[in-house]
Chain A
Amino acid sequence: MIEIKRILLVEDDPRDVELTLTALEAKNLANEVLVVHDGEEALDFLHRRGKFRMRLPGHPAVIMLDLKLPKVDGLSVLRQLKTSEELKMIPIVVLTSSHEERDVVESYKLGVNAYVVKPIDFHDFVNAVKELGLFWAVINEPPPGSIRRA
């Protein structure tokens, strides 16, 4: 049985996964993260289908979504989630390398809850991710149906 965790990290680059988890570790949030590696996996997980058919019910408290993803890209995932009656309430934070204006504009049009550009400087990066994790997974009151802190 696959567990469900409070943070769903959608990130294809294992280095970024590692750095993100490292950053979250500082706030003891690393254990609260479940990682999927492309857009299709993310959708399958959230819809409980495919290899996630058997996962436990419930929604993550936040989805950290990269934009450049294999198979289904981040903007498509965002569009599909925000148009799904069942899933559109889940907070989504875009966490990406780029601050291309069209990505920002498109993400907000689709209803993203936050848009964060990963800073190049590691300290800045760690701080940003820590704050994000803390805010969305701990401070923020998630919508009904989300996993709560144990």
Chain B
Amino acid sequence: MTVNEFLTLATRATLLLIATLTLWSYLRYRGRARLDIALLFGLLAFVILIGPIREAGGIPGLDDRWLTLAAQIALVAHPYLLLRLVLDFRPVPATIWWIALIGMVGSWLLLLLLPPPPLPVPATLAIVAYFVFIEGYAVVAFVQGAQVTAGVTRRRLLLAAGASGLLALAILLAGVSAVFLTAGPVISNINQVIVLLAMLSYYAGFATPQWLRRYWQLSELRRFLQQTAGPWAGEPIKATLERLCRVAAAAVGGLATAVGLWDEAEKVLLIRASTMPAALPVGTAISQGPARQAWEEGQALAASIPGDFSPDEAPLAAAVGAGALLMVPIATKERSRGLLIAFTWRMPLFVADDLSLLSLFAEQTAIALGYATLLSEQQTLIRQLHRRTAQLEAAYKELESFSYSVSHDLRAPLRHVAGYIELLQNHTGANLDDKSQRYLKVIQEAANRMGGLIDDLLAFSRFGRVELHKTHFPLDQLVAEVIHDLAADSAGHDITWQIEPLPAVKADRSLMRLVFVNLIANALKFTRSRSPAKIEIGCNLAEDEVIFFVRDNGVGFDMKYVGQLFGVFQRLHSAKEFEGTGIGLANVQRIIHRHGGRTWAEGAVDKGATFYFTLPQATQSEVQGEVEQ
């Protein structure tokens, strides 16, 4: 087999295969574009196959001349069919249409009416002129198309342009070889290769096999994912949407793309980003039509001119110059945000592929938006937290400077009152009558009492602010210490102590000591009239806390006033009956609250009282943990 024979065979076989595939594709999926492609390759295959048929002796009963004529007729239809394919990518001016149509029909008439062969030179020139002009136009159209598009469409157009160029070259070479017959075999070989390449390019461009298309789309997807994965944090939503538009347009060869986000208040999709802001201005509302339908159903959808478009979409499509819309929801499982809309010149050949690719982009974008939303919510929360903290700190500072000022500035005049009364007494003491002496004494006592109150109040305020120094210590020991200290003051008083075992706790020891000092001192105070006085200290374990209590058989109180017990300077007894300022239980409550516990009391008049407080059980488990360590 010579090289020439091999190439011829390869070209024929390839073309036959492509023609079969495109025909199969048309029969299976239908559609105008597929028909055009099938026709284009079918005619080319026919032209090429005339050769072997003739070599095999032709078709019996049919003049060889007719076969040649048929091939020629088929060949001159090629530019026209090519022009029809251009239409799948971009509009074609009416003038060009007419030229192509007249050229094709005219060529047919010339071939049919004039006596063959060979045709007269003017007729041949006319046919070649038509052929070259339309093919040339197609090449230019494809190249121009490739310049304004990107991604998959750009590659297809470049292949189509290349194929048209190669085919034109092949025809030129065929003409040359007809003139310079000596160069025949070499040129014929080269020509075979060129034709083969042109066929493959056409095929890849027009009837792009799915694997090739997927491969191209994959690279678009990879680029998109790389861009999306990087700058999520802090990227403005608009930038994310604009990138989606750009990438989507490139991947499906759209004339333009836009993102409409759902506006809950207006119940419309509002365009928030687009690749063609002049035709698809940001802020345009779409409330009806296929876009609305795609949004509501959460489904990818394709719609084509003209009937499908709603009054909302039609002007947009017209402004872009689009004949079809591809729409996919921008949604995650949790939340739908809007719609990605790609405007294409015609319904794309591989709608399902395009829609699924767009869906992938949209889904990734929805995830990115989700992250962005979470991030911005988080930042808002953090800002709020900072603001609150600052407010708290300011309030705390004010409180501190207030108590500081009370501590310094309120005590000085009190001291002066007490001091000068004393000086006055020393000065005129002997000259004053009893009444005046008593007045001075009252003033002095009042000043001293006020000093005590101020100190109490400052201490109370300090318990609210002071840092807790929690340590792990046994309460038994603390209670024993307190009782020992206080018992000295109640010597001669008949007291029955009943102290249950108490657990170890994790708390501020000096503050817990104050709690027991206050509660036990109270118990001693209010059982003064009892003999024997009975004071019981114990605890109960509850689900998540330990309840401590101090019970006495003293004078008790009326449960009606239980709400006042823990208030600052609230007293249920007169100063005459029982001394005290009424700060003790307020301090107990504050200290227990600081430890995360509660306080309450039970009692009845003359039947004694029980004071309860709790410490959270979490404190206990911390203790356990520390013990184990």
Contacts and interface: CB of A to CB of B under 8 A. Distances in A.
B315 interface: no
A99 interface: yes
A98 B404 CA distance: 8
Interface in A1-48: 13, 15-16, 19, 22
B447 A120 contact: yes
Interface residues of B, number: 21
Contacts of A113: none
Given A120-B414, A120-B451, A121-B448, A96 B419 contact: no
A15 B418 CA distance: 12
Interface stretch (B87-95, B214-222, B420-428, B589-597): B420-428
B415 A118 contact: yes
A16 B423 contact: no
Contacts of A119: 415
B607 interface: no
Nearest to A101: B462
A122 interface: yes
Interface string B406-420: 011101101110111
Contacts of B422: 122-123
Interface in B373-430: 403-404, 407-409, 411-412, 414-416, 418-423
Given A120-B447, A120-B451, A121-B448, A16 B412 contact: yes
A contacts with B: majority SS: loop
Given A120-B448, A120-B451, A125 B415 contact: yes
Interface in A109-133: 118-123, 125
A81 interface: no
A120 B408 contact: no
A94 to B, nearest CB: 12
A100 interface: yes
B contacts with A: majority SS: helix
A97 interface: yes
A63 interface: no
Interface residues on A, range: 20 to 34
B407 A98 contact: yes
Contacts of A88: none
Contact of B418 (A67, A99, A122): A122
B411 A16 contact: no
Interface in B551-574: none
A44 B292 CA distance: 85
Given A120-B448, A122-B422, A123-B422, A19 B408 contact: no
B408 A97 contact: yes
Contacts of B416: 15-16, 19
A98 B400 CA distance: 13
B418 A120 contact: yes
A19 B448 CA distance: 17
Given A120-B414, A120-B448, A19 B404 contact: no
Contacts of A100: 403-404, 407-408
A82 B416 CA distance: 31
Contacts of B418: 120-122, 125
A26 B506 CA distance: 51
Interface in A65-96: 67-68, 96
Contacts of A16: 412, 415-416
B420 A68 contact: no
A67 B407 CA distance: 12
Contacts of B411: 97-98, 118, 120
A137 to B, nearest CB: 21
Nearest to B447: A120
Nearest to B449: A120
B419 A19 contact: yes
A2 B420 CA distance: 31
Contacts of B408: 67-68, 96-98, 100
Nearest to A97: B411
Nearest to A68: B408
A97 to B, nearest CB: 4
B448 A97 contact: no
Given A19-B420, A120-B411, A125-B419, 7 more contacts: A16-B416, A96-B408, A97-B412, A99-B407, A118-B411, A122-B415, A125-B418
Which 4 A-B pairs have CB atoms at the shortest separation, nearest pair first? A120-B451, A122-B422, A98-B407, A97-B411
28 contacts: A13-B412, A15-B419, A16-B416, A19-B415, A67-B408, A68-B409, A96-B408, A97-B407, A97-B412, A97-B415, A98-B407, A98-B411, A100-B403, A101-B462, A118-B411, A120-B411, A120-B415, A120-B418, A120-B447, A120-B448, A120-B451, A121-B418, A121-B451, A122-B419, A122-B422, A122-B423, A125-B415, A125-B418
